[in-house]
Amino acid sequence: MSKTKVSIIGGAGYGAAEILRHLVMRDDVEILRISSKDHVGEPAGQVHRTLYGYTDLVLEDLPVADAVKGADIVFLAMPHKVTAHVIKDHLDDGFRVIDLSGDFRLRNLVDYQRDYAPEHPCPDRLGTFVYGLPELFRDQIKTATHVASPGCFATTITLGLLPLAQAGLLKGTNVRTVAMTGSSGSGVRPSAGTHHPVRHNNLKAYKVLHHQHRAEILQTLGDAGASQVSLDFVPVSAPLSRGILAISQVDLPDGHDRASLQKLYEDTYKAAEVVTVLPAGTSPEVNAVAGTCRVEVSIEVRTDEETGKRTLCCMSALDNLIKGGAGQAIQSFNLMTGSDEGRGLSLPGMWP
């Protein structure tokens, strides 16, 4: 069996840990090297303790040309605003790329400048990456040279709304979303807002109505058919290590009731590898999907007895580091290499 040769740039973070966890056991993958600016010279199994005994790889501080030498696919697991600077001169060097940062997700430079940085180091590359959401762009990912893997909030919220967008039921609609996330989404380095003593037993809204994933969500919903949709998004810091629960509310479209929308969701995701539409009366739970690439989605409907106004609530939950990060990148990797999309990802969650 020929093996796909892989390199990872940005090997010290949680994203790289999950990429390695999902690849080190596979007999169709050869991991060539792990490049990193941190923990240089340390074994990967000491930097990422769950890998101890599974790999002899060592983190190395390598020039990009050396890091990618001989690789078929390169995972970029560096922070936003760093990735584009590091990789911009090597995107046409003959290897395929799966980028976990936000540097190439947006097509509009103005959106990037507003949400990430005043300047982009290679703005001509915006719009040239395939957006790595298999539930919407499966065929494009298969043949892509460069894939921009989606953000964690963006994945969670989009998958909760995607059936409505594809059915044309979000046109001219305002979506109101609150989503709670675990601390691992802030990265491996602690900060004043993510340090465990202040996050434990605490809930806090942040970047209210101005989170950087908002433009990404609107762009993707537009690609799915939702024109003139607006989004009011409030992210909440939750006392969890892993997981996101998103709750979106929209006005119920005319001509639809709960039963018809349940069928719409089930039909949309019937062929999805990792998305489960829950039955009526069942809500997604983070514990049910933590540690997996699975997504739980459900809906509920309420009619106001006085005004007759009908509200549709769309709920979705996933693990921000897996389906919201590295696991979704592995889905793209599988598609790009001709493997089954869910290879190495089809595991049930842990309970409790």
Q: Output the DSSP codes for 31-67.
A: EEEEE-SSSTT-BHHHHSGGGTTT---BEE---HHHH
CA distance 99 to 126: 13
pLDDT at 136: 98
Residues 98 and 168 in one domain: no
Q: How far is residue 246 from each of residues 22, 31, 140, 206, 259, measured CA to CA in Å?
A: 25, 35, 27, 15, 22
Residues 199 and 312 in one domain: yes
The strand pairing partners of 174, in sequence order, are: 230
Residues 161 and 121 in one domain: no
Residues 75 and 116 in one domain: yes
- When divided into structural domains, the chain yields a total of 2
Please report whether residue 176 resides in a domain.
yes
Residues 169 and 316 in one domain: yes
Residues 96 and 215 in one domain: no
Q: Which domain holds residue 119?
A: 4-128
pLDDT at 193: 74
pLDDT at 200: 85
CATH number of the domain within which 65 lies: 3.40.50.720
The strand pairing partners of 96, in sequence order, are: 73
pLDDT at 348: 84
The residue out of 128, 162, 193 marking a domain boundary is: 128
pLDDT at 255: 86
Q: Residues of the chain whose pLDDT is less than 70?
A: none
Residues 123 and 165 in one domain: no
Place of tokens 């990967």: 44
**Active site residues per annotation:** 152
Residues 157 and 124 in one domain: no
pTM given for the model: 0.96
